[in-house]
Amino acid sequence: MSERIIAIACDQAAYELKLDVIKHLEERGIKYTDHGTYSTESVHYPEYAHKVCVDIQEGKAELGILICGTGIGMSMAANKHKGIRAAVCCDTFSAEMTRRHNDANVLCFGARVLGKGVALQIVDAFLDAPFEGGRHKTRVDMFMALEK
């Protein structure tokens, strides 16, 4: 993949925060694919997690962002997909370290847990941190082997 693309989706509880994240991505010049939801009408979040995960699996997106009420449901749904390493993060340190040490490819957080300002800082920490590799790659390989 030559250009960085972020796949993003949410459920109804996080619709407004997703719009804030999208605006933030646009301001940073980061391309994204918005997989919904597109309103505050009730939806089933696993369907939206699936769309983001498929984009990553197919190489259409480098990373994903999933937002629901707490981030927990989205992360559980996302982690059922082969090759997905989704992490719920409520602070910038965790967001940075899950990229650096766990090579997480999906960030999850909750609109009912975080305010807009902290959420955008978490997005930046996640997107800006590189995977360190080395001993961390060995560990990531070990837990990814559990999929087999």
Question: For the domain bounded by 5-147, which CATH number is listed?
Answer: 3.40.1400.10
101 is catalytic: yes
Taking the domains of the chain in order of start, what are their residue ranges?
Answer: 5-147
Catalytic residue among 35, 53, 81, 101: 101
The model's pTM is: 0.96
Q: Give the confidence band of 3 by pLDDT, cuts at 50, 70, 90.
A: confident
Check pLDDT > 60 for residue 2: no
**Neighbour tally for 90: CB within 10 Å:** 16
Structure-token match 């837990």, residue found: 143
24 torsion bin: left (phi>0), alpha (psi -120 to 50), beta (else)? alpha
10 is catalytic: no
Q: Per residue in 86-144, pLDDT tens? A: 999 999 999 999 999 999 999 999 999 999 999 999 999 999 999 999 999 999 999 99
Q: How far apart are CA 6 and CA 32, in angstroms?
A: 4
Q: Per residue in 22-42, pLDDT tens? A: 999 999 999 999 999 999 999
Catalytic residue among 10, 68, 89, 108: 68
| Element (DSSP H or E) covering residue 138 | helix 135-144
CA dihedral 97, 28, 16, 63 (to 10 degrees): -50
